[in-house]
Amino acid sequence: MNTNWDLLVENHFAARKQKPLVEILNQLIEQVMAEALDFGMPEVLGEEGETAGTQRTYTIDDIPLIPISELGWANARTPGKGSEPPPEQRTQLEQYLSNIGGTNLVEKLDAISKFYNNPPTGRSGDRKQYIREVLSFLVFFKTLTLAITNFNASAAGFNFEAFLSVLLKGRQIPASGAGTIADIAVDYGDGVEIPLSLKLYNEKGLEVGGSFRALCNDLINDASITNAAEWEWGKSQPGGGAMRYLACTKNFYETEGLDQTGHIDFYQLDITRENVFEVLILSKKGRACIKLPEVFVTRYNQGERNPEMLDISKGIPAAAEKPEPSIYASTFAEYLELQISEIEEFDDQVKATFVEQVAELYEKNMEASIEKSGGKLSWKFGGARGPGVANVTSLALITQQVFYPDYKGPGAFKRSDEAKYWASHVASAYALFSKEFIKSLDLRKAALEEIVFLSPEESLKAYAAMRNDPEILSLALRNTIGYLRQLHWLLARGMVYDLAGGKIAALEIGSKKVGDLLEKVRNDLMKEVFEIFSAVQELSRDLNAFFAGGLNDPKLAEKAIESANLISTRTEEVADVKGDEAM
C-alpha cells in the first residue's frame, strides 16, 4: 500500500484548525516562550536520547545556546543621544540575564554564586517563575563557559567584555577613537554610569597598567582631552576624577578547549585623582611615572597658585616630526666625509665611494626599522664598534670591497685591524652627527633632560599636600615625568590583590561545572522543559531533511509529526494551558 505522505502531513495538521504547518510550529514555539518562559527562543544544541530503564544524564548541550559574538552582543549607545536598536543576539541574551537578581556587579555575582551552590528545588511557588529563573542562570553559566573556553585569549577577552556589558545592562566603549581607557560603562544600581577598565588574564599573568598619560587624562576629567568627562561618577570621587578597574583571573584545572574547568575570580579597585600617587608608588614602573618637577613643587610651597606660573609643561617644545631616512643619511654622509678627509692612504674618489655606500647602508637600516616597527623611525646606527652588531658584517664588507679588494676571506677581514680602524672612524662620525644633528631635531627631549625631578617619595609627599585643591592636582598630573614622556605604568598581580582588598566574587566555569549544576536542578518540571527544547530541535532537523530530500522519506515525516505532537503536549503541560488555547 502506497502512502501519500504529503496528504498525511496535511491532514494531520488540518484536523487542528486547518492552519499551515509553519504557522502551527511558530505558534507552538511562541507559546512555550510567551506563556511559560516569557523570553525569546534561542538556538538549541542537540542532546542524547534517554535509554529505557536508565536515568538521563544532563550535559551542557541541553541548555539553550545564545550565539556567541562580541559584535552581536555589543551596545555602544550613548545615553540621551539616541541609537540603533541593539543586535538581536544581545536582545536574546539580555532577556535571559535580566532575570538574574541584583542591581550592581557585586550583587549580581553574589546571586549567581548562591544559585550555583544552592539552586532552588521548584517544589513550591510559581512554576513559570521557577523555570524562568533556572533557565536564566543555566544560560548564564553555559554562555560564559563557551565565551571563555572556546576562543583564544584575545577573543575571549572581547567576549567577556561584551558579556559583562549585557549582564550589567551597560554599554561597550568602542576601542577606536574612544578617548578613554574605559572598556564598558555600567549602572551600579543608582542610575549613574560608572566606567570600567576590564582586564581578563590567566591567574599567574594578572597585571593592571597602561599609558600613564591616558590614565591621567581620564582622572583630570577635562572634556577637551578625554571622553571620561561624560561620567558624573568620576567627578564625585576623591579629587574629582576616577577610573574603576575590574581585574579578573581565569583559573583552569584542565587547559584545552571546552574541557577547561575552573573558576574566574573578580577583583575591583578604584584609582582616583587623589590616590593615584599612593597606588603607583608601589611598583617600579609606577614610581618612574609620578616624579614631579622640583620647580613646580618649590613654587607651590612658596604660595604660588596661579596655574600659568606653576605649569612648566607649556614651556616645553612639542615633539618635532622626524625627517625622512634619506635626510639622515645624506647629513651623516657629510659628517663621515669630514671624519676621513685627513686620511691620505686612499684618494678622494675611493673615500667618496666608501662614504656613499656607508650612507646607503644607514638609510636601508632605517627603512627596515620603520617597516619592522610599523612606522617608528630608528636613527641609531652605531656604537663603539660602528654600526650595530647586526650590521658589522655589512660595514666590514663595504670596507673590504672599497679599500682592500685583494684581501682574502671576508670572514677573517671583519676581525682584522683594518676593519676595526675604519669602523672606529664611522663610530666617531656618528657620535658627532648624533650630538649636533639628531639631538637638535628633538628639542622637546633636550628640554626634558634639563628638568630636575623629585624622587617618587618626595613627589608623593608634595602631591598629598595639594589634595585640597583638585585643579592643582590636575595640573600636577600634567607636569609629572610620566605624563610628559608618555611612560607606562604597571601593577603586578600581588599589588592588585592587595589594593583590591580581596576578591569580590568567584564564579565556577567549565562544561563539567555546568553539568554538575544541571544535575542539581534535575526534577520532573525541568525534564519537561528540556524535552520541549529537544523536540523543537529534532522537529527542525527532521523537517529540513524531509523537504531537502524531496519529501521521499516517510520516516522523517513520521518523526516530525511525533516531535510536533510532543511539543504541543509538553507546552500545554508546562504552560498550564489547554490545547485549543495553545493553538
In the 3-class helix/strand/coil scheme, how is 269-298 assigned residue by residue? EEEECCCHHHHHCCCHHHHHHCCCEHHHHH
Q: What grid cell was written down for 527? A: 525534564
Q: What is the pLDDT of residue 580?
A: 43
Task: Give, in order, the Cα–Cα distances in Å from 535 to each of 19, 55, 479, 487, 547.
Answer: 20, 19, 67, 59, 18
Torsion angle in degrees (nearest 10) through CA of 145, 146, 152, 156 = -70
Q: What is the pLDDT of residue 514?
A: 83
Q: What is the pLDDT of residue 481?
A: 96
**154 pLDDT above the threshold of 60:** yes
Mean pLDDT over 227-240 rounds to 88
**33 pLDDT above the threshold of 50:** no
Whole-angstrom distance, CA of residue 124 vs CA of residue 245: 41
CB atoms within 10 A of CB 431: 15
Mean pLDDT over 32-58 rounds to 43
More confident residue, 135 or 483: 483
pLDDT in tens, 487-542: 999 999 999 999 999 999 998 888 888 888 877 877 655 666 666 666 555 656 65
Most confident of 155-159, 164-168, 309-313, 505-509: 309-313
* pLDDT mean across residues, the chain: 77
Closest CA to 32 of 574, 578, 562: 574
Whole-angstrom distance, CA of residue 414 vs CA of residue 418: 8
Which helix (H) or strand (E) segment holds residue 185: the answer is: strand 184-187
**257 pLDDT above the threshold of 70:** no
- 3-class DSSP state of 244: strand
**23 pLDDT above the threshold of 80:** no
| The amino acid at 271 | I
Q: How confident is the model at residue 229 (pLDDT cuts 50, 70, 90)?
A: confident
Give buried/exposed letters for 299-324 (b at 16+ CB in 10 A, else e).
bbeeeeeeeeebbbeeebeeeeebee
pLDDT in tens, 85-95: 556 777 778 88
Strand 171-172 vs strand 184-187: parallel, antiparallel, or unpaired? Answer: antiparallel
**453 pLDDT above the threshold of 90:** yes
Q: What is the pLDDT of residue 531?
A: 62
Q: How confident is the model at residue 51 (pLDDT cuts 50, 70, 90)?
A: very low
**225 pLDDT above the threshold of 50:** yes
- 3-class DSSP state of 99: coil
Whole-angstrom distance, CA of residue 433 vs CA of residue 485: 24
342-347, Cβ contacts within 8 angstroms, sequence gap of 24 or more: 343/425, 346/403
Q: What is the pLDDT of residue 325?
A: 84
- Phi, psi (degrees; rounded to nearest 5) at 98: -65, -15
Burial-class residue 333 by CB neighbours within 10 Å (0-12, 13-18, 19+): buried
pLDDT in tens, 324-344: 888 888 999 999 999 999 998
**117 pLDDT above the threshold of 50:** yes
**39 pLDDT above the threshold of 50:** no
Which helix (H) or strand (E) segment holds residue 6: the answer is: helix 5-14
**76 pLDDT above the threshold of 50:** no
More confident residue, 84 or 538: 538
- Lowest-confidence pick of 74-78, 131-135, 285-289, 309-313: 74-78
Question: What pTM, to 2 d.p., does this model score?
Answer: 0.68
- 3-class DSSP state of 17: coil
Closest CA to 441 of 293, 303, 317, 262: 317
- CA quadruple 446, 448, 452, 453: dihedral positive or negative? negative
Most confident of 23-27, 125-129, 222-226, 471-475: 471-475
Under a CB-based contact definition with an 8 Å cutoff, are residues 310 and 475 in contact?
Answer: yes
- Phi, psi (degrees; rounded to nearest 5) at 5: -70, -30
Q: How confident is the model at residue 13 (pLDDT cuts 50, 70, 90)?
A: very low
Strand 193-202 vs strand 207-211: parallel, antiparallel, or unpaired? Answer: unpaired
Residue 470: half-sphere exposure toward Cβ, Cα within 13 Å: 15
More confident residue, 483 or 159: 483
**279 pLDDT above the threshold of 80:** yes
DSSP 122-145: -SSS-HHHHHHHHHHHHHHHHHHH
Torsion angle in degrees (nearest 10) through CA of 317, 319, 324, 327 = 30
Rounded to 10°, the helix 456-465/470-478 angle is 150
Under a CB-based contact definition with an 8 Å cutoff, are residues 557 and 9 in contact?
Answer: yes
Q: Which residues contact 213 (CB under 8 A, 6 or more apart)?
A: 482, 483, 486
**190 pLDDT above the threshold of 60:** yes
| The amino acid at 218 | D
Under a CB-based contact definition with an 8 Å cutoff, are residues 489 and 210 in contact?
Answer: yes
**446-447-452 Cα angle (round to 5):** 110
Rounded to an integer, what is the distance from CA 544 to the centroid of its chain? 39
Q: What is the pLDDT of residue 579?
A: 42
CB atoms within 10 A of CB 61: 16
